[in-house]
Chains A and B, each alone.
Chain A
Amino acid sequence: MNVAGPARSRPSSSSSSDANSKRGHHGHAADGGSSSLVDMYLDVPSFELSLDEFEEYALARLKVLRKIEEMKTRNLPPDLFRSQLDASIKSNLRSNDIVDVASHFILRAAYCRNEDLRRWFLTQECILFRHRLESVSRGGGGSRGGGGNNGGGGHHDELRDFLARNDFDLDRVSAADKERLRDKLLSVPGTNPVEFNVAEYYRVPFVQALELVGRRECYVADGNAYVPLPRVVSIVAAKFRSSLSRSLASAGGIFRQAVSRDERARIGPLLSSMNSQYTGPSGGAGSSAAYGIDGEEGAPTAANVDELASRSMPLCMRQLHRGLQRDHKLKHQGRLQYGLFLKGAGMSLEEHTLFFQREFAKIMTGEQFNKQYAYSIRHMHGKEGKRATYTPGAEHHGCPYRHYDDASLSALLGLLKIGNAVDRDAIMAHKRDGNFQLACSRHFEAVHPGATSLEGVNLDGVGNHPNAWFSASVSYHNAKSGKGGATGGSKNVVKAEGVA
């Protein structure tokens, strides 16, 4: 598992499975006494784990990371977030340092394979790290294991110990200097005059405190940032993030070569399926993914999107799909709208690119496509530009019910063989009355007979949002065909797959 090791340390040999039945723990954290409550994971450990432990530890951490993601999605208030995360850490990574260190590196190896996985892992690990560091600097301690909470007073020592252990070269500001700079330091926003008197300040090169510098949240003089001890957290967190990010990126490229052949046979499958391991129900259904489709089930792919379009898409999206099939291109609005719809329906970036490329390639070269369109697809998935995660908007333009005249709409309904004559008349009646949402819902009812009586089919928002329409349709067809589970729940739920 040293594949994911940071550039800083290159252990010559460390195998996680050489002696998979022995339970010797040695090396990095062998002292077992949890002197460190927070770890930068700069040194790749070398100790031996059984294959069972290997998997058990990894899944334990996965639970914590998924818990973090879920809580972030639900936007929990900070103190609830902290207490729930503490509980999760306690029950999963409770026992000792080895679980924590080993599981971090195992997941690092499992999640370095591609950009999506790396980003996910980096995000959750950074939140976890920051949480622990803040606990330590607040004096909470104990977030890695039991103990550690030695009450007031000593917490700054813990943080100091941590900083010293991890090569943070902080220059403590002398009392005289602090007094000399009193006015300056006190006029930094957020400085509490009462706490100032006991606060300890450190001088760091400003490039180590970019976050604070950029927000003018520290005093800067002569190239140095003056930072009170608690705020050192943000500096350390930034350093953690960049070193982990670098390690993941460099490990990503060498994943295949670095895991030796015999190890690959043994731990390869474990690592490569790690991200799709089932770790139990995630708890709250993610609100942001309300219209999402679970796992791969029902999610559109380049291969099945044609079929899904005629089976499960509302008229507006079907029209975009037909336009794309007919002209092998879509204008910007159309690409954005259809793209976000597909993304909301669970289509992955890879499938999305594949599908659009397949269509566009009929009128242009692959190079042209890559140059002009691939970027915007990645952008939609938050991989470019400001990396925002776009969600399909509720209001959309180009509603056929609203914008088509009666004759065109009627012709279209007939062409697409939507419902029977009675259905089509009802839809046309809604359209003429200006009740476009009712028309859209009526379309759904026409092609999903008995939907209201099926369990697990959520009809909320069917006439309002194309993704609601789609999601309801997919769950309808799943329920019909006897596949359970697709209830439009959280994306966090990952299907269980064969565990070796």
Chain B
Amino acid sequence: MGAATDAVDDDEREFGAEDDVVPAVKSNNDVDYDDADADARRDAPRSSSSSSSSSATTSVVYSPELLGVYYSRLFPYDLLHSWLSYDPSSINPGNGKVVTPAKASSSSSSSSSSSYSSSSLSSSSTFPRREFSMTIEPTPGSEVYIRYQSFSSREDLAAAVMRRRPTKLDIGAVFNHPPKDNKSLPAGKLQTVERELVFDVDLTDYDEVRNCGCAGADICPKCWTYMGMAMGVMDAGLRRDFGFRHLAWFYSGRRGVHCWVCDESARMLTNEARSAVASYFEVNLGSDKNKGFNLSAPLHPALARAYEILEPRFVDSVLPEDGHGLLATRASWTRLLLTLPKAAHPVASRLEERWGRSPGRDATPREKWRELKSELASFVGGRGGGAKAPKTLSSSDRVRIEMWPVETVFRQTYPRLDINVSKMQNHLLKSPFCVHPKTGRVCVPIDADDFDSFDPFAVPTLASLVRELDEYEARGGGGNDANADGGVVHDWQKTSLRGPFERYRKKVLIPLLNDERRSAREERERRAAVVGDF
């Protein structure tokens, strides 16, 4: 690893820590992804491959050769560049298409790299000052980390990425000077000026509440539900509380999600403001040893909303047997009841007795949860037929009991952010559209309005993409579906990346750039008004 590894996000640190450099031909990790791969094979029946790079066995999801194909044919340089330049002119207002070279290749892979040549000379002012950094493997087993890269244009970026074939590409801040001039600038001269507000949620931080058997970098559909919950809370909070409108969510390629808040106001936030926003979302959930985390009553509006979002999902996917089984077996509900405050022990023993009485035909976890909540409510409220709290119940005990359901739901499901990623303008985060070297999966955009239908196991891998390209070309273009090749300009449109990429362009990029255009116009008019020169 290079010198400056301190400012890098978790995925990066994990590389170093494991000291387990990605082998050129993957064999050891396949087992985790066999199922997903099998699915992919079913979905896309294998055809005899013409491309030399996909001649390896189908269980190879990632290799330097596949990565080379991805970078030269599939990587959406224009989407990345349009976004990071915040330049409305990089997108055609008429049809909302990203402006691309007129005669882009439709099939030949050899011409695709040279097709980026003439456009975007009028690169916006921020893109050339944006820091990129690359993790490269000059030889298998060695890893070099290069910081302070910057590129004057999309073509520059594309050329460097194709030449270096980074196993990972990180995006940093926009600086006052192109960061590649770092060495020639006096020390301290290079300073960050703006940066998206970013959030990183990672399932590794959920180990203590993952009863599905996963730990560390493993994920399964059961624990992935936690990511959907985290996204729901964060998305609502960032939009409604802070008024941000341009949130871009991405799969991190393995076990988490990244959120990039791209509003101009977010990009300009100081480090101090970033810390405050991150702390606003942070709830200290206590640790394994110190279970006692206490929420104060009443619940802050942001937390009350989080509870409204989380509780139904908690009931659906955490409580039942096929979730994390919190109320599914006698042992598990006994464990849960033991976490009730001491003062509520009459409720616990009542329920323990009732639920244990009729094994086999007892209430469902969902019914048990409702029962538990209503018992607690009537216990402190003194109504109903349940156990009654003694008159001496202290007000702090009362609060503890009232807050217990919220605390339980939060401990299990509240977003666990890696807030260090969010605090500094200068922190690097993995670029969207990259490929995770361990899984071979693309860091695809996730549709903000449709978190729940996102399936990390259906995300295309390098191998499946190359196969799709081959198949597309074997069909001689459009294929059976007449609409499918309408407007195919990029090779990625020939693959299953088309859906997520085009949704991202339509729902994130275009609204973002339209806003940029609007605010640029307003700024021009404001300035003109100041000097009285319209």
Interface residues of A (CB under 8 A from B): 184, 186-189, 206-207, 210-211, 213-216, 219-224
In the bound complex, CA of A187 to CA of B304 (Å): 9
Min CB distance B299 to A, Å, is: 6
Complex: A210 Cα to B279 Cα, angstroms: 10
> What are some 8 contacts across the A-B interface (CB < 8 A)?
A187-B299, A187-B300, A207-B269, A210-B273, A214-B276, A216-B303, A221-B241, A222-B243
Give every chain B residue within 8 A of A224 (Cβ-Cβ). 243
* A213–B304 CB distance below 8 A: no
A169 to chain B, nearest CB (A): 16
Measured CB to CB, the closest approach of chain A to B154, in angstroms, equals: 32
Task: Tell me which residues from 279 to 337 in chain B have a Cβ below 8 Å from any Cβ of chain A.
Answer: 279-280, 296, 298-304
Number of interface residues, chain B, beta carbon within 8 A: 23
CB distance from B179 to the nearest CB of A (A): 21
Please determine whether B301 and A184 come into contact, CB atoms closer than 8 angstroms.
Answer: yes
The answer, yes or no, to whether B272 is at the interface (CB within 8 Å) is yes
Rank and list the top 9 A-B pairs by shortest CB-CB distance, nearest first: A223-B243, A214-B276, A210-B276, A187-B298, A214-B279, A222-B243, A220-B241, A184-B301, A216-B300
Instruction: Name the one of B273, B280, B302 contacting A207, with C-beta atoms under 8 angstroms.
Output: B273
Q: Given A210-B276, A214-B280, verify A222-B240 contact (CB < 8 Å).
A: yes
Nearest A-chain residue to B239, judged by Cβ: A222
Whether A216 and B280, one on each chain, are in contact in the complex, defined by CB atoms closer than 8 angstroms, is: yes
B residues in contact with A221, CB < 8 Å:
240-241, 243
Cα–Cα distance between A220 and B273 once the two chains are bound (Å): 14
Q: How far is the CB of A370 from chain B (nearest CB, A)?
A: 11
Residue of B nearest to A218 (CB): B300
The closest CB in chain B to the CB of A211 belongs to B276
Task: Give the distance to chain B from A220, nearest Cβ to Cβ, in Å.
Answer: 4
- Asked if B277 lies at the interface with its beta carbon under 8 angstroms from chain A, I say yes
Do A213 and B280 touch (CB < 8 A)?
A: yes
Among the listed A188, A210, A222, which residue makes an inter-chain contact with B301, where contact means beta carbons less than 8 Å apart?
A188
Contact assessment for A189 and B276 in the assembled complex, using a CB-CB cutoff below 8 Å: no
B265 interfacial contact with A, CB 8 Å: yes
CB-based contact A188/B276 at 8 Å: no
> Beyond A210-B272, A214-B279, A214-B280: 19 further Cβ-contacts under 8 Å?
A186-B298, A187-B298, A187-B299, A189-B296, A206-B276, A207-B269, A207-B273, A210-B275, A213-B277, A216-B279, A216-B280, A216-B300, A220-B242, A221-B240, A222-B240, A222-B241, A223-B242, A223-B243, A224-B243
B235 to chain A, nearest CB (A): 15
* Residue of chain B at shortest CB distance from A215: B279
A222–B300 alpha-carbon span in the complex (Å): 16
Contact, CB under 8 Å: A206 / B242: yes
A214 to B275: give the CA distance in the assembly, Å: 7
CA distance in complex: A138, B243 (Å): 33
In the bound complex, residues from chain A placing their C-beta under 8 Å from that of B270 are 207
Residue on A with the closest CB to B243? A223
Shortest A274–chain B CB gap in Å is 29
- Write out the residue numbers on chain B whose beta carbons fall within 8 Å of the beta carbon of A223: 242-244, 265
Q: In B214-265, which residues have CB < 8 Å from any A CB?
A: 240-244, 265
Q: Is the interface of A mostly helix, strand, loop or mixed?
A: mixed
Expressed in whole angstroms, the minimum distance between the Cβ of B426 and any Cβ of chain A is 16
User: How many Å lie between the Cα of A225 and that of B301 in the bound state?
Assistant: 12
Q: A206 CA to B303 CA in the complex, in Å?
A: 18
The docked-state distance in angstroms from the alpha carbon of A286 to that of B244 is 49
CA of A148 to CA of B11, assembled, Å: 59
Q: Report how far A224 CA is from B242 CA in the complex, Å.
A: 7
Residue of A nearest to B275 (CB): A214
Q: How far is the CA of A222 from the CA of B265 in the complex (A)?
A: 12
Q: Which residues of B contact A210 (CB under 8 A)?
A: 272-273, 275-276
Q: A210 vs B275: C-alpha distance in the bound complex, in angstroms?
A: 9
B534 CB, nearest partner CB in chain A, Å: 27
Question: Chain A residues near B304 (CB, 8 Å)?
Answer: 187
Complex interface: chain A residues within 8 A of B269 (CB): 207
B265, B273, B300: the one contacting A189 at CB < 8 Å is: B300
Q: How far apart sit A470 and B299, CA to CA, in the bound complex (Å)?
A: 53
**What is the CA–CA distance of A208 and B276 in the complex, to the nearest angstrom?**
11
With both beta carbons as reference points, the residue of chain B lying nearest to A224 in the complex is identified as B243
A215 contacts across to B, CB distance below 8 A:
279
- With CB as the reference atom, state the residue of chain A lying closest to B263: A223
What is the minimal beta-carbon distance from B398 to any residue of chain A, in angstroms? Answer: 17
Give A183's nearest chain B residue, CB to CB: B301
Separation of A222 and B304 alpha carbons in the complex (Å): 17
Least CB distance, A441 to chain B, in whole angstroms: 40
Cβ contacts under 8 Å, B296 to chain A: 189
Shortest Cβ distance from A200 into chain B, in angstroms?
20
How near does chain A come to B186, taking the closest CB pair, in angstroms?
A: 14
* Bound-complex Cα distance A186 to B301 (A): 9
Which of chain B's residues has its CB closest to A187's CB?
B298
| B99 CB, min distance to chain A CBs, angstroms | 32
Given A210-B272, A210-B273, A220–B280 Cβ distance below 8 Å? Answer: yes
In the bound complex, what is the Cα–Cα distance between A211 and B279 (angstroms)? 10
Residues from chain B with a CB closer than 8 A to the CB of A220 are 241-242, 280, 302
Collect the chain B residues with CB atoms within 8 Å of residue A187's CB: 298-301, 304
Write the nearest CB–CB distance from A24 to chain B, whole angstroms: 39
Contacts of B89-134 to chain A: CB distance below 8 A: none
User: B459 → chain A, closest Cβ, in Å?
Assistant: 33
The answer for the CA separation of A184 and B300 in the assembled complex, in Å, is: 8
What's the minimum C-beta distance from A496 to chain B, rounded to whole angstroms? 39
Q: Which residues of A contact B299 (CB under 8 A)?
A: 187
In the assembled complex, how far is the CB of residue B216 from the closest CB belonging to chain A, in whole angstroms? 29
- Residue numbers in B under 8 Å from A188 (CB-CB): 300-301
Q: Please state if B276 and A213 are interface contacts (CB–CB under 8 Å).
A: yes
| Cα separation A207 to B273 with both chains bound (whole Å) | 6
| Shortest distance between the CB of B41 and any CB in chain A (Å) | 48
- Bound together, the chains give a CA A211 to CA B301 distance in angstroms of 17
Contact B276 A216 (CB under 8 A): no
Contacts of A219 in B (CB 8 A): 300-301
Give the shortest distance, in Å, between A217 (CB) and chain B (any CB): 8
Q: Closest B-chain residue to A186, C-beta based?
A: B298
Q: Which residue of B lies closest to A222 (CB)?
A: B243
In the complex, what's the smallest C-beta–C-beta distance from B175 to chain A, in angstroms? 21
> Shortest Cβ distance from A134 into chain B, in angstroms?
22
Determine the residue in chain B with the shortest Cβ distance to A189: B296
Cα–Cα, bound, A214→B302 (Å): 12
What is the CB-to-nearest-CB distance from A85 to chain B, in angstroms, rounded to a whole number? 28
| Complex interface: chain A residues within 8 A of B244 (CB) | 223
B241 partner residues in chain A, CB cutoff 8 A: 220-222
Nearest chain-A residue to B268 (Cβ)? A207
Which residues does chain B contribute within 8 Å of A216, judged by CB atoms? 279-280, 300, 302-303
* Chain A, residue nearest B274 (CB): A210
**Which residues of chain A have C-beta atoms less than 8 A from B301's C-beta?**
184, 187-188, 219
Taking the closest CB of chain B, its distance from the CB of A367, in whole angstroms, is: 12
Closest B residue, CB atoms, query A209: B276
CB distance from A43 to the nearest CB of B (A): 24
A386 to chain B, nearest CB (A): 13
The chain B residue sitting closest to A191, CB to CB, is B298
Q: How far is the CA of A220 from the CA of B279 in the complex (A)?
A: 13
Chain A contacts for B273, CB-based, 8 A: 207, 210
Enumerate chain A residues within 8 angstroms of B242, measured Cβ to Cβ: 206, 220, 222-223
Nearest Cβ on chain A to B301's Cβ, whole angstroms: 5
- Distance between A188 CB and nearest chain B CB, rounded to angstroms: 6
Kindly state the separation between the CA atoms of A215 and B280 in the bound complex, as whole angstroms: 6
